[in-house]
């Protein structure tokens, strides 16, 4: 939706094709909300992209009466020695970001709902917050269509055929040709790219998220930030209770048994005991007042690369096919800037953003 919108601003004839009807629960974007932070622990190369995305999210908000961004602040907390937390503060220093370093006593004084033996150090970023993901997708969709783009929903792509000077795309009922193709098919990227001659190591993986009844005096979005929690037993992320919906929490890291292709993935929350148990384990250890009744649970899909870096590049054999994927569970905050990058590549053949880490030919994707 993002790429379709930014391309539609260039007076191009844009066709978007989706196997479902976005926003929908079948990909990685479902579940209402996503965090955005600027001091990111995944690598210094992401910080300029996060900052640019924040500018673009703010601009998108001017086009919508629906809430796109809520500044709740983001708290990264966990045990001393966590590589993720160390990279977070390193990035904040390198880019002179406004980050507070907090002791356990300072965190518990400010947010008395926090506790636990792995609560040793924290970093608070006041300017971070929550993206209302489904509102954002609806807004991009509306704006793209108003610019003249077209959208086919509930239309799976059956095959893609690069041909001289164009690309042919076949669906169940129609065949389309395009000068250029942007492939952003999430967990289906691996299969689609394999049909285009690229056998990449990108792995769809099942993850779960859930909302739990919580003490709003402690955990409402007016009092409590979005959070990243690094315990010695796992990596978690979550959201304060927004408008009384309960604390939302998900586990970032998984196990080999979570790796499966989308067609065979059990998308029902609660099919496995760990779906709820892992989340409650973290809440019990660190946020007891949010370990209440289960309000809702969902499963989603991460599409992981071996190094957890993105893929944003041209196909190495077909220079009119562009690929974005492998977002490895931390991609949604970058939706606007990825759309901008792909629009640059399509219209100019290059981008001013540094995407060297996201090459589709890097060794990590093939080893």
185-227 confidence digits (pLDDT tens): 999 999 999 999 999 999 999 999 999 999 999 999 999 999 9
State the Cα angle at 172 between 170 and 177, rounded to 5°.
20
Q: Which of 304, 319, 337 is the last residue of a domain?
A: 304
State the Cα angle at 127 between 122 and 128, rounded to 5°.
70
Task: Quick: pLDDT tens for 244-259.
Answer: 999 999 999 998 889 9
On whether residue 66 sits in a domain, the answer given is no
On whether residue 69 sits in a domain, the answer given is no
Residues 119 and 174 in one domain: no
| Strands of 51-118, DSSP E | 69-70, 74-78, 99-103
Residues 241 and 99 in one domain: yes
On whether residue 64 sits in a domain, the answer given is no
On whether residue 254 sits in a domain, the answer given is yes
Residues 99 and 139 in one domain: no
d(CA 155, CA 87): 42
Residues 91 and 240 in one domain: yes
Instruction: Give the pLDDT of residue 177.
Output: 98
CB 76 within 8 A of CB 41: yes
Provide the greatest CA pair distance for the chain. Answer: 65
Q: What separation, in Å, do the N-terminal and C-terminal C-alpha atoms of the chain show?
A: 32
Residues 209 and 192 in one domain: no
Total-model pTM? 0.97
Residues 21 and 158 in one domain: yes
CB 356 within 8 A of CB 297: no
On whether residue 227 sits in a domain, the answer given is yes
Q: Are strands 234-239 and 226-231 parallel, antiparallel or unpaired?
A: antiparallel
Residues 190 and 338 in one domain: yes
On whether residue 39 sits in a domain, the answer given is no
Instruction: Give the pLDDT of residue 27.
Output: 85
Q: Which residues of the chain have pLDDT under 50?
A: none
Residues 103 and 210 in one domain: yes
Residues 102 and 213 in one domain: yes
Q: Which of 289, 304, 319 is the last residue of a domain?
A: 304
Tokens representing 189 are 């990227």
Q: How much of the chain is helix, strand and coil, in % rounded to 5?
A: 30, 30, 40
Residues 233 and 255 in one domain: yes
On whether residue 186 sits in a domain, the answer given is yes
What CATH number has the domain bearing residue 146? Answer: 3.50.50.60
Instruction: Give the pLDDT of residue 31.
Output: 87
CB 86 within 8 A of CB 79: no
In the chain, how many domains are there? 2
On whether residue 17 sits in a domain, the answer given is yes
What CATH number has the domain bearing residue 92? Answer: 3.30.9.10
Residues 214 and 160 in one domain: no
Structural domain of residue 176, as residue ranges?
Answer: 2-26+134-202+307-361
CA dihedral over 95, 100, 104, 108, signed as positive or negative: negative
CA dihedral over 234, 240, 245, 246, signed as positive or negative: positive
Instruction: Give the pLDDT of residue 74.
Output: 98
Instruction: Give the pLDDT of residue 263.
Output: 86
Residues 236 and 257 in one domain: yes
Distances (CA, A) of 302 to 214, 277, 327, 339: 27, 20, 7, 19
Q: Which of 304, 324, 344 is the last residue of a domain?
A: 304
């Amino acid at each position: 939706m993002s790429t379709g919108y930014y391309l539609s601003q260039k007076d191009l004839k844009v066709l978007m094709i989706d196997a479902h009807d976005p926003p929908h629960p079948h990909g990685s974007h479902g579940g209402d909300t996503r965090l955005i932070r600027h001091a990111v622990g995944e690598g210094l190369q992401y910080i300029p992209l996060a900052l640019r995305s924040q500018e673009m999210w703010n601009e998108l908000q001017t086009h919508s009466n629906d809430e796109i961004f809520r500044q709740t602040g983001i708290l990264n907390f966990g045990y001393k020695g966590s590589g993720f937390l160390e990279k977070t503060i390193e990035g904040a220093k390198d880019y002179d970001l406004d980050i507070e370093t907090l002791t356990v006593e300072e965190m518990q004084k400010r947010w008395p709902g926090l506790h636990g033996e792995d609560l040793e150090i924290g970093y608070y970023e006041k300017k971070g917050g929550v993206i209302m993901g489904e509102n954002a997708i609806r807004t991009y969709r509306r704006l793209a269509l108003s610019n003249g783009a077209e959208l086919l929903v509930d239309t799976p792509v059956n095959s893609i055929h690069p041909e001289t000077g164009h690309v042919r795309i076949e669906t169940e009922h129609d065949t389309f040709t395009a000068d250029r193709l942007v492939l952003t098919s999430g967990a289906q990227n691996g299969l689609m790219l394999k049909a285009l001659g690229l056998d990449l190591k990108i792995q769809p993986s099942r993850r779960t998220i859930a909302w739990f009844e919580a003490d709003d005096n402690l955990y409402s979005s007016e009092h409590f930030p979005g959070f990243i929690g690094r315990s010695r037993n796992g990596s978690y992320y979550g959201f304060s209770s927004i408008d009384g919906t309960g604390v939302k929490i998900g586990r970032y890291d998984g196990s080999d048994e979570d790796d499966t292709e989308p067609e065979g993935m059990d998308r029902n929350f609660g099919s496995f005991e760990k779906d709820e148990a892992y989340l409650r384990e973290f809440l019990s250890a660190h946020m007891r007042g949010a370990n209440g009744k289960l309000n809702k649970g969902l499963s989603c899909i991460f599409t992981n690369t071996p190094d957890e870096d993105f893929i944003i590049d041209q196909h190495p054999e077909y220079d009119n096919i562009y690929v974005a994927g492998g977002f490895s569970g931390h991609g949604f905050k970058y939706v606007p800037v990825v759309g901008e990058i792909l629009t640059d590549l399509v219209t100019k053949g290059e981008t001013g953003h540094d995407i060297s880490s996201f090459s589709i030919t890097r060794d990590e994707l093939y080893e």
